[in-house]
Amino acid sequence: MSTPTTSLDKGDRNDKGRAREEAAALLADMPLTHGSLPRRAAPLTLLAFVLAGIAAWQTGLLGAAFAGILTAVGYTAVIYLWARRVEGPRGAFDRLVTAVVSSAFALALLPLISVITTVVSNGAARFDADFFNNSMLGVVDEGGGAHHALMGTLIITGIAALMSVPVGLMTAIYLIEYGRGRLARWITFFVDVMTGIPSIVAGLFVYALFELFYGPGIRMGFMGSVALSVLMIPVVIRSAEEMLKLVPNELREASYALAVPKWRTILKVVLPTALAGIATGVTLAIARVIGETAPLLITVGITRGDNFDPFNERMATLSVFSYNQYAYAPGHARDLFYERAWSAALTLILIVMTLNLLARLIAKLFAPKTRA
Amino acid sequence: MPPTTTSTRTRGAPQRLGDRVFSGASTGAGVLILVILAGVAAFLVAEAWPALWADSSEIPGGDGIILYIWPVLFGTLLSAFFALVIATPLAVAIALFITHYAPRRIASLLGYLIDLLAAVPSIIFGLWGAFELAPMTVEPTRWLEDNLGFIPLFDGPASPTGRTMLVATIVLAVMILPIATAVIREAFLQTPRLHEEASLALGATRWEMIRMAVLPFGRSSIIGGLMLGLGRALGETMAVAIVLSASRDVVSFNLISSENPSTIAANIALSFPEASGLDVNTLIASGLVLFAVTLLVNMGARAVINRRRDFSGAN
Amino acid sequence: MAKRIEVKGLDIYYDKFLAVQGVSMTIEPRSVTALIGPSGCGKSTFLRTLNRMHELVPKARVEGKVLMDNQDLYGANVDPVGVRRHIGMVFQRPNPFPTMSIYDNVAAGLKLNNKRMKRKDLDDLVERSLRSANLWEEVKDRLNRPGSGLSGGQQQRLCIARAIAVAPDVLLMDEPCSALDPISTQAIEDLITELKEQYTIVIVTHNMQQAQRISDTTGFFNLQAIGEPGGLVELDTTTKIFTNPANSDTERYVSGRFG
């Protein structure tokens, strides 16, 4: 405190009063009421520009992309200049940012929409029973399918999940229930780092590992499973960790108070409480790796026919199948190969989206149990 | 650190067999993570070793390992850098839109839509980039060459197929948007209400409030999220392999021509299936370089994000 | 300059939920008006309608009138941003911007309102605001250090300096001392007594002694019943409210029998 109130002399007080008036004088006066755009000005202007954009696109005046860009830019400019006249620079800039930020979001949705429509429209041509019942054995151009690849994807991803879930779950349990001190900190940090390993590097690692035992040129489905596990484990750990953290401590303590040993508490109390959340996380982790291509390309390779033995020779997978149909399409039957590539892509995206929806569904249906 | 359990066991108390087995197994799983990571490094080094000491003429291209890796490393850094340039403003703007502009009821749905982008397999982004996006860019890149050709990036000649570095970077930018947005969004959501209200009570507009309270608070998360995105872009394989029409030994900033440097990851994917002998070791050596670069970037990103976590915890 | 606020028949809603009903009161300039009452009776909600912070909650709205020198703050064409510029606010917990220095915290509002202010004028205003907030002597040597490094009481005075730097007409305070120790509280109370020379001050407080010490007028808010909306029960001079209130609930509350 500089000066207690009681001893404050008159001069100081006047000084403070003057300071306030001078401050008011220096500040650009901002009246309470000032012009503002009519309430519906922004939405109506936007509507006008969107309609104009659609019209320009439909009449063939502009391409869809250009029409979209011009709509956004035009709206932003008009609303900014208008607001600047009526509301002043600060209000106008606020509107400018609003328009820019909203356009950015719309812009980000374009690739998503475009990807999905492209995959669906291109993939539909060969998305038929033949595609799911045949392999590529003996197929030169027409026909053929991805039965072998679909099975391969399921087998390889399934084995990967069987390996990743126990390891990931146990690690999460270690980090939440047991982990103390430096080791736990290191593991936490490196799990984060591991989520960033490029998938191709995981593939190279597995190849390098197996080459030591089997010699150069080794390919088998199981190698792909191991590579996918390297990618999947950190995802499982992270999501399981989050879920275990949500289990209230009171539950654990209640169990200890009943003289239940710690390991049984974890198995019988903690895990069941977090089960739905963990299932969601595992499903999302599977969705993340099931579409991987690069590590499978270099560890599993591709076959034309059925091979469902993951410990013996090359196998086909949907993603590599799709790439292979695209990359090795011969000139005379290019479109037939491309059609199969797109159908495999469509199958893949359907699987991934189904897994994502399934994860949401599990989370939603069992949500109350995780938040006791 | 996990905030939940408190250890009830006192030092020296006898442990049950079940407890010992269970805690041993879970510790083992944790240690396995470190072993795997160390294994990745060790096996890559072991397999890269022959290529590092081989005679220059035995390396593909015949100029030695360094000159083999340099152009693809350059392509990797170039594509990832420009992907980041495109993704940065978008990621920040999208995160702002979801947290501070969109109606709250649909905000999480919008966030989910962006997350869906991350669910699309990279092979599909590759096909989409090659078949959809690339043809769309042919006209604009020709225009760029004609009008902005004096900038080295748009030197041309413009590719007639559109399978350029430019398209590769756009596809990469789209692919790293979700991860970057997710991290930034999380930070923006955690901006203390108190600080937002403090600036609003001073008479700040929404944007001024964001500039005063939200952006400074989220700054390190923005950096961290973007670095995570950078890590993804550096390692992305199939999308680049499919989209980019690459030639060996090109080192050029020209984004729109048909002569492009490849990236490490794409080069491995394209060459590995047919490689044998020392070629394999050379590719693994380039993979080791990629591993080191992404490891550094990711460790940096995590350090930045974790530091922020400590900082906000202390407040 | 300090302005008079008149509230006429104000109903405050969160979506469909009526939180505060039928408040009418006059807040005199150059005085301290204290709002007291049990928790959840709508004092803070009411305070936040005076500078239109209430509507930041989605679907929150008000009905009725709030006049500042006869101008309706909720009238058409009134910009909430302008309202907040003229009616400053100090919050329950000190909230200086953590990433800004002490200087920048005080200058934050000034920079919004006048981007091209000369450096010297800005320095001047920052110093005077800090002096007015009785903080200058304590921080003049570390203006470039972060504001979060100050003690709680100092931070709160920094927030007051930040609020008065833009020369508002009215200053709203939402339990400004509830997070502070007694000595810091004393400093803030002294400051409030000084500031009322130039400002209209409205303060929400849980501390009845504090209301008695610093306010000229006191309003007692209460819930009509459990589940019913809150409202203003009685408004009078502080002396009257604490010695001889008209309403029996007020009497029971100020004598500490409930709340």
**B60-101 tens-digit pLDDT:** 877 788 888 899 999 999 999 999 999 999 999 999 999 999
Is A120 in the same domain as A251?
A: no
Listed residues A124, A158, A182: the one ending a domain: A124
- Cα–Cα distance, A348 to A106 (Å, whole number): 26
> Are residues B138 and B158 in contact, defined by beta-carbon separation less than 8 angstroms?
yes
> Are residues C210 and C176 in contact, defined by beta-carbon separation less than 8 angstroms?
no
- Residue B194, chain C, CB below 8 Å: the answer is yes
- Cα–Cα distance, A229 to B46 (Å, whole number): 22
The shortest C-alpha distance from A10 to chain B (Å) reads: 30
Residue B117 banded pLDDT, cuts 50, 70, 90:
confident
Is A169 in the same domain as A115?
A: no
Listed residues A124, A143, A173: the one ending a domain: A124
Q: Where are the alpha helices (DSSP H) in B190-272?
A: 193-201, 206-209, 215-235, 238-243, 264-271
Residue A219: pLDDT over 80? yes
Position with higher pLDDT, B13 vs A207: A207
Residue C153: pLDDT over 60? yes
Put simply, the answer to whether C187 touches A28 (Cβ < 8 Å) is no
The whole-number pLDDT of residue A7 equals 39
Residue B234: pLDDT over 80? yes
In chain A, the residue whose alpha carbon lies closest to the alpha carbon of B140 is A66
- C-alpha distances (whole Å) from C9 to each of A95, C50, C220 are 34, 13, 16
What pLDDT digit, counting tens, does each position of C101-149 carry? 999 999 988 888 776 778 888 898 899 899 888 899 899 898 988 888 8
Mean pLDDT of all residues belonging to chain A: 84
Which helix or strand (DSSP H or E) is residue C171 part of? strand C170-174
Residue C237 banded pLDDT, cuts 50, 70, 90:
very high
The whole-number pLDDT of residue B308 equals 59
DSSP lists the bridge partners of residue C12 as C20, C62
Select from C56, C148, C162 the Cβ nearest to the Cβ of B202.
C162
DSSP lists the bridge partners of residue C60 as C14
DSSP state of B260: B
Those residues with Cβ within 8 angstroms of residue A368's Cβ, 6 or more apart along the chain or in another chain: none
**Testing the interface with A: which of C50, C71, C111, C113 to mutate, by most A Cβ within 10 A?**
C113
Task: Specify if A18 maps to a domain.
Answer: no
The whole-number pLDDT of residue A20 equals 63
Is A148 in the same domain as A293?
A: yes
Q: What is the mean pLDDT of residues B218-232?
A: 87
Treating both helix axes as pointing N-terminal to C-terminal, what angle do A334-370 and A318-327 enclose, rounded to 10 degrees?
160
- Cα–Cα distance, B196 to A211 (Å, whole number): 58
Task: Specify if A12 maps to a domain.
Answer: no
Residue A34: pLDDT over 80? no
Residue B111: pLDDT over 80? yes
- With b meaning 16 or more CB within 10 Å and e meaning fewer, what string describes C95-114? bbbbbbbbbbbbbbbbbbbb
Among B54-63, B227-236, C146-155, C187-196, where is mean pLDDT lowest? B54-63
SS3 A303: coil
Tokens of C70: 């006869």
- Residue C164, chain A, CB below 8 Å: the answer is yes
Name chain A contacts of C151, Cβ cutoff 8 Å. Answer: none
Give the residue among C231, C182, C186, C235 at the shortest CA–CA distance from C38: C231
Give the residue among A175, C168, A33 at the shortest CA–CA distance from C160: C168
Q: Which domain holds residue A317?
A: 132-365
Is A91 in the same domain as A231?
A: no
Q: Which residues of C, range 203-232, sit inside 8 Å of A by Cβ? A: none
Put simply, the answer to whether A198 touches B235 (Cβ < 8 Å) is yes
Q: Which residues of B, range 69-128, sit inside 8 Å of C by Cβ? A: 103-104
Is A113 in the same domain as A147?
A: no
Task: Specify if A267 maps to a domain.
Answer: yes
ipTM of the complex: 0.88
The whole-number pLDDT of residue A12 equals 53
Residue written as tokens 């008006």?
C33
Is A231 in the same domain as A313?
A: yes
The whole-number pLDDT of residue A169 equals 92
Task: Specify if A20 maps to a domain.
Answer: no
Name chain C contacts of A1, Cβ cutoff 8 Å. Answer: 134, 187, 190
Put simply, the answer to whether C95 touches B200 (Cβ < 8 Å) is no
Residue written as tokens 């469902």?
A308
Residue A13: pLDDT over 80? no
Is A159 in the same domain as A102?
A: no
Listed residues A85, A105, A124: the one ending a domain: A124
Residue B298: pLDDT over 90? no
Is A220 in the same domain as A242?
A: yes
Residue A139: pLDDT over 60? yes
pTM for this prediction: 0.86
Which helix or strand (DSSP H or E) is residue A43 part of? helix A41-58
Residue written as tokens 């029998």?
C257
Alpha carbon dihedral C228, C231, C233, C235, in 10-degree steps, equals 170
Is A120 in the same domain as A139?
A: no
Q: How many domains does chain A have?
A: 2
Task: Specify if A13 maps to a domain.
Answer: no
**Testing the interface with A: which of B238, B280, B304 to mutate, by most A Cβ within 10 A?**
B238
The whole-number pLDDT of residue C162 equals 92
Those residues with Cβ within 8 angstroms of residue A10's Cβ, 6 or more apart along the chain or in another chain: none
Is A141 in the same domain as A60?
A: no
Residue A305: CATH number of its domain: 1.10.3720.10
- Residue A7, chain C, CB below 8 Å: the answer is no
Task: Specify if A25 maps to a domain.
Answer: no
Q: What is the mean pLDDT of residues C18-27?
A: 91
In chain A, the residue whose alpha carbon lies closest to the alpha carbon of B31 is A187
The whole-number pLDDT of residue B11 equals 47
Q: Are strands C71-72 and C200-204 parallel, antiparallel or unpaired?
A: unpaired
- Count contacts between A and C (CB, < 8 Å): 86
Instruction: Report the helix count and the strand count for chain B, using DSSP H and E.
Output: 12, 0
Give the residue among C165, C20, C148 at the shortest CA–CA distance from C93: C148
Among A226-230, A322-326, B219-223, where is mean pLDDT lowest? B219-223
Is A118 in the same domain as A148?
A: no
- Cα–Cα distance, C187 to C193 (Å, whole number): 10
The whole-number pLDDT of residue B176 equals 92
Residue B228: pLDDT over 70? yes
Is A175 in the same domain as A139?
A: yes
Task: Specify if A21 maps to a domain.
Answer: no
Task: Specify if A372 maps to a domain.
Answer: no
DSSP A151-180: HHHHHHHHHHHHHHHHHHHHHHHIIIII--
Residue B310: pLDDT over 60? no
How many other β-carbons are positioned within 10 Å of the β-carbon of residue C187? Answer: 21
Domains of chain B: 54-311 (1.10.3720.10)
Tokens of C42: 């709508």
Q: What's CA B119's distance to the chain center, in Å?
A: 15
